[in-house]
Structure 1
Amino acid sequence: MSATITPVDVAATSGKEERRVQRLLPGLVRPGAAALAGVLLYLSFPPRPLWWLAVPAFALLGWTLYGRRLRAGFGLGLVAGLAFLLPLLVWTGEEVGPVPWLALVAAESLFVAATGLGIAAVSRLPAWPVFAAAVWILGEAARARFPFGGFPWGKVAFGQADGVFLSLAAAGGTPLLGFAVVLCGFGLYEALRLVLAHRAARTTATTARRGPVAVAALAVLAPVAGALAAQPLVSVAAEDGTATVAAIQGNVPRLGLDFNAQRRAVLDNHADRTKQLADDVAAGKVAQPDFVLWPENSSDLDPYRNPDARTAIDSAVRRIGVPTVVGAVLTPDTGPLRNTLVQWDPRRGPVATYDKRHVQPFGEYIPMRSFVRIFNKDVDRVRRDFGPGEKVGVFDLAGTRVGMATCYEAAFDWAVRDTVTHGARLISVPSNNATFGFSEMTYQQLAMDRVRAVEHSRTVVVPVTSGVSAIILPDGGIVRQSRMFTPDALVAEVPLRSSLTPATRMGTLPEAALAAVAVGGLGWVAFGAVRRSAHRRKAAANQ
């Protein structure tokens, strides 16, 4: 005998489902808002010129985390971190599949989750936007150092190369620049929160104005005013004359990890493009450069051990007739490989070297190789690990002291600053992005280089094997830029500068000061929790 479903049963079932959905929806609002905040933050990064989206992203994140319990703050921070980093770092799986990409995102998102916990903890303090923004910078500082030397990719400052706050990089480096953006976002939320709170309480018009205006002035207008005040620190004036520099982009024979299999073709591409530049100079089409910069990995054949490679480089450098920096892989008999920049003189050959100091984990060397192999066999493409150098790289090229930071090193504050404090008048960031195809990676890295130019008030030249190569002025503006996967030679006369910005002079002090504010806020919260717990125990004992 079959069961009969009546309209009453259907109505009852529908009512239960509707009530279940109604109970579920409020619980999804904040995670959804956290995810949206992460997506907005991602959209604020290059190649999109939407830097201003970072402010509403943090305003929304502030609403999501304000007043939450610690466990909720951790979970919401994790959601925001995943929504931000999954699309931002998708290029890391361009040639090796999704496992390394997802593993990196998961690890880095845990830092954002811990940051979310900290922001939730300080959100009840007076002037909480200041403490919360400092907690975010503390989280970035930890992410830039741990594990395996850190991974600073995705620092808020690196999305602000076109933003109104950029001048703050010269005042206090990437920590101060990022702090200003985050503070603006949290301050904007606090101002809106107070406005709505006053309206709900139906206070007088005078009271309704004073609180929100004061908060907005402190947390929103103050960073903007600070950026305007820092504008005089940004200059393109030549303090030590000028230099005419050339950046060579020879291009690669094919995309992906296997481009290294055609090492001689890559070398020949850069040698040929340099010779073409020499012909253009002879024909009066471009100015004679004072020196030439090749990219990282422009010669993966060791010129000290391979006579053919040495001949190819020497021929090109003699043709252009000026000092040239060549990116090479050196292969000693024993020990690790070296990712080296070689200063090549047209008469004397190689005269100086710089070994990359911060080699890339899981790219240039494999930590925990046997364990990682379980998840991805591509680790065996790195058959021999690279080892780090120890000395700061500053070359004297035709009388110009040029600081060297190789590719990945541009993400690290110390690696670029060291070259300037050791006398660099110009910075070069030779890079190799061919592994990452046409992804957003090269534009994200270019934005870092633009921030570094303002931070240290130096021209930054970025020669890249496959693009985007660029010549960047000390104000962050690009005067020459190549297209991706197109041979090119960028030539420009650029200013040389020797003065030190406050950011260069202070080094890690701004970051340490903001970390101290964050720790102070977290300590305040912890102390208050201990006092309340002790008070409750005492009250219970007296009953």
Structure 2
Amino acid sequence: MWVRRWLPRGLALASGCLLVLAYPAPALGWLAWAGLVPVLLLCARAGSVREAAWRGSLAGAGFFLTLFQWVLPHVGLLAPVLGLVGGLLWVPVGVVAQRLLREPTAGRTLLAVVVLPSVWVGVEAVRSWEHLGGAWGLLGLTQWQARPVLALASLGGVWLLSFVLVAVNAGLAAALLPGRARPLGGALALGIVALVLGYGLLRPDPVPFGSVRVAGVQPGLVHGVEERFTTHLNLTRQAAGRGQAVVVWGQSSTPFDPARRPGAVARLRETAAAVGSDVLVNVDARAADGRIRKTTQQYGPDGLTATYEKRRLVPFGEYVPLRPLLGGLLRDTGIAEEDRAPGAAPVILRLGTADAGPLISYESMFPDLRRELVRLGADVTIVQGSLTSFHGTWAQPQQASAEAVRAVETGRSAVLVELNGTSAAFDAQGRRLAWMPPDERGIFVVDVPLYEGTTPYVRWGDWVPAAAFAITAVAAGWALVNRSGIKKRRSGHGE
């Protein structure tokens, strides 16, 4: 009895872990097209809703703990909480799989291909809330190298990619379960793949109207305030004569406020004049109001020309939710000792003849921020990042690969410059323009195409999550009404 109960649960846990191989660094993106099938089969074959919930929760816990293995050493007592929350998030997936696929008729198979992806996308949208850690590890991000598939992001963002991946998994699961609906499940899976590839291959490529040259500085981890600043200045001077419009430094590249050090401002102005372009630094320091802020600052030969303050802060890394309650409990972990202050508004920077929308590290994972910048007129988006705490982990290529999806979503080239991570640049088709792994040091220079127009995703926004919530609500209502009817019929027979 014990083996019959826990063997499927153990397989569910392992299946959740296996799906993570679709993400960088393994980057087995093809696995996302069938990696959920084992979990769906195990949940479908569960003898009860309760058992399906158990199997779904264990698969979710395995997925999240494996996906975020790079952060576990830094969160201490929060690690079990991460596993618990991850498990709870997958319970609806397990329950719906059990209800729709346990005896897959044609009708239930059709519902599964629509409702399961809706539940999945709804869960992804909820867990993408900034205070829960943001949009890391969304299933659609696994397709960053599959350009025909990636084109779908221009219609509905990363959410639409996740939706079609889960729909194909649901169809394949139905095709593997006994019943007359097996051919329908396989046909639906193949049909969805054909539609996705057809759109990607037939969609006209966006045509650039020009380009802007961007130089990035990636010095790696440099200890010492003055040493870090000087290293950036020295590397920046290597861009002299390269014709760039801006030299970009990573997050926290300037761990002091240059305004309080006149000599630092003078050195930035001299460097900007020497290389013939503006320099985009990132200040992580206490401001005049006494609060610590992370700020993008644009310096030219004449001094400071523009600033942008980071608006979305990393929970526990840059601020602690419910600090009076959790601060003492997590004192010996890697949490922020003092909360940073968030910025208030987006900013557009002028880079020669182009307009750039700046974001800072964690903000790069949020599709809505990128969409907002494009609506404000950004020709290109630039992210200043730093994953120093997670050097050598999967976090670094995961953040860099997400830039490909962000570029296709918005129809704008995307550039990420890391202090110590994986710097990258992609054009609006998701083609890689630059890629500097975390162990490489120095500068890179890239010509970034500029595009006009807006994608449907920029115009329509998050219509896929909205539709997913609506479908989930209707399905839940239908299930409750149906269950109530069954109980009434049984009660009537009993009388």
- Shared fold, TM over 0.5: yes
AA aligned opposite 2:303:
G
Cα–Cα, structure 1 residues 190 and 375, in superposed 2: closer, same or farther, change >3 Å?
Answer: same
Corresponding residue to 2:312 among 358, 363, 387: 358
Return the offset for 1:536: 2.5
Partners of 2:91 and 2:292 in 1: how far apart? 37
Q: Is it true that 1:508 corresponds to 2:462 in the alignment?
A: yes
Partners of 2:322 and 2:10 in 1: how far apart? 36
Match of 2:28 in 1: 50
Contact 1:459 1:473 in 2 (8 A): yes
Structure-to-structure mapping, 1:142-153, within 5 angstroms: 142-145=126-129, 148=131, 150-153=133-136
Partners of 2:29 and 2:370 in 1: how far apart? 23
AA aligned opposite 1:152:
A
Return the offset for 1:365: 0.8
Q: Is it true that 1:177 corresponds to 2:165 in the alignment?
A: no
Structure-to-structure mapping, 1:247-262, within 5 angstroms: 247-253=216-222, 259=223, 262=224
Partners of 2:94 and 2:270 in 1: how far apart? 56
Structure-to-structure mapping, 1:346-495, within 5 angstroms: 346=301, 348-378=302-332, 382-495=336-449
Match of 1:191 in 2: 175
Deviations 1:320-364 (A, max 9, x none): 121222111242243532211112222x21111111111111011
Moved more, 75-84 or 370-379: 370-379
Partners of 2:263 and 2:87 in 1: how far apart? 47
Partners of 1:119 and 1:141 in 2: how far apart? 19
Contact 1:236 1:473 in 2 (8 A): no
Q: Is it true that 1:241 corresponds to 2:215 in the alignment?
A: no
Q: Is it true that 1:228 corresponds to 2:182 in the alignment?
A: no
Partners of 2:171 and 2:309 in 1: how far apart? 44
Match of 1:206 in 2: none
AA aligned opposite 1:298:
S
AA aligned opposite 2:98:
A
Question: So what's the TM-score if we normalise by structure 2?
Answer: 0.92
Contact 1:438 1:484 in 2 (8 A): yes
Q: Is it true that 1:323 corresponds to 2:323 in the alignment?
A: no
Structure-to-structure mapping, 1:21-100, within 5 angstroms: 23-66=1-44, 68=46, 69-94=48-73, 96=74, 98-100=76-78
Match of 2:143 in 1: 160
AA aligned opposite 1:274:
T
Match of 1:218 in 2: 188
Match of 1:340 in 2: 295
The root-mean-square deviation of aligned C-alpha atoms, in Å, is 2.2
AA aligned opposite 2:58:
V
Return the offset for 1:55: 2.3
Partners of 1:450 and 1:252 in 2: how far apart? 25
SS of the equivalent of 1:171 reads helix
Partners of 1:150 and 1:526 in 2: how far apart? 32
SS of the equivalent of 1:430 reads strand
SS of the equivalent of 1:136 reads helix
Contact 1:395 1:402 in 2 (8 A): yes
Partners of 1:378 and 1:393 in 2: how far apart? 36
Match of 1:110 in 2: 88
Cα–Cα, structure 1 residues 377 and 131, in superposed 2: closer, same or farther, change >3 Å?
Answer: same
Deviations 1:437-482 (A, max 9, x none): 2111011111211111111122111110013111222222222221
AA aligned opposite 1:304:
A
SS of the equivalent of 2:283 reads strand
Return the offset for 1:383: 3.4
Partners of 2:80 and 2:331 in 1: how far apart? 16
Partners of 2:203 and 2:285 in 1: how far apart? 40
Contact 2:214 2:246 in 1 (8 A): yes
Match of 1:9 in 2: none
Cα–Cα, structure 1 residues 413 and 381, in superposed 2: closer, same or farther, change >3 Å?
Answer: closer
Return the offset for 1:126: 4.9
Match of 1:295 in 2: 250
Partners of 1:233 and 1:309 in 2: how far apart? 49
Return the offset for 1:85: 1.4
AA aligned opposite 2:216:
A
Return the offset for 1:513: 1.0
Moved more, 446-455 or 323-332: 323-332
Deviations 1:343-391 (A, max 9, x none): 2222x21111111111111011112224324443246863331122121
Structure-to-structure mapping, 1:274-289, within 5 angstroms: 274-278=236-240, 281=241, 287-289=242-244
Cα–Cα, structure 1 residues 165 and 244, in superposed 2: closer, same or farther, change >3 Å?
Answer: same
Return the offset for 1:494: 2.0
Cα–Cα, structure 1 residues 108 and 27, in superposed 2: closer, same or farther, change >3 Å?
Answer: closer
Match of 1:314 in 2: 269
SS of the equivalent of 2:418 reads coil
Cα–Cα, structure 1 residues 67 and 406, in superposed 2: closer, same or farther, change >3 Å?
Answer: same
Partners of 2:204 and 2:16 in 1: how far apart? 31
Contact 2:109 2:184 in 1 (8 A): no
Partners of 1:475 and 1:378 in 2: how far apart? 45
Cα–Cα, structure 1 residues 468 and 292, in superposed 2: closer, same or farther, change >3 Å?
Answer: same
Partners of 2:79 and 2:415 in 1: how far apart? 29
Deviations 1:366-417 (A, max 9, x none): 1222432444324686333112212113211112111122111121121111
Structure 2 alignment gaps of length 5 or more:
103-107
Deviations 1:177-197 (A, max 9, x none): 00111111111111122xx43
Partners of 2:98 and 2:271 in 1: how far apart? 59
SS of the equivalent of 2:134 reads coil
Contact 2:309 2:344 in 1 (8 A): yes
Cα–Cα, structure 1 residues 171 and 432, in superposed 2: closer, same or farther, change >3 Å?
Answer: same
Partners of 1:507 and 1:251 in 2: how far apart? 36
Moved more, 99-108 or 182-191: 99-108
Partners of 1:121 and 1:311 in 2: how far apart? 67
Contact 1:122 1:522 in 2 (8 A): no
AA aligned opposite 1:216:
G
AA aligned opposite 2:421:
G
AA aligned opposite 1:142:
V
How many residues are treated as equivalent by the alignment?
487
Deviations 1:9-38 (A, max 9, x none): xxxxxxxxxxxxxx3333234213312321
Structure 1 alignment gaps of length 5 or more:
1-22, 199-210, 254-258, 282-286
Contact 2:149 2:200 in 1 (8 A): no
Partners of 1:264 and 1:438 in 2: how far apart? 25
Contact 1:273 1:487 in 2 (8 A): no
Moved more, 171-180 or 54-63: 54-63
AA aligned opposite 1:184:
V
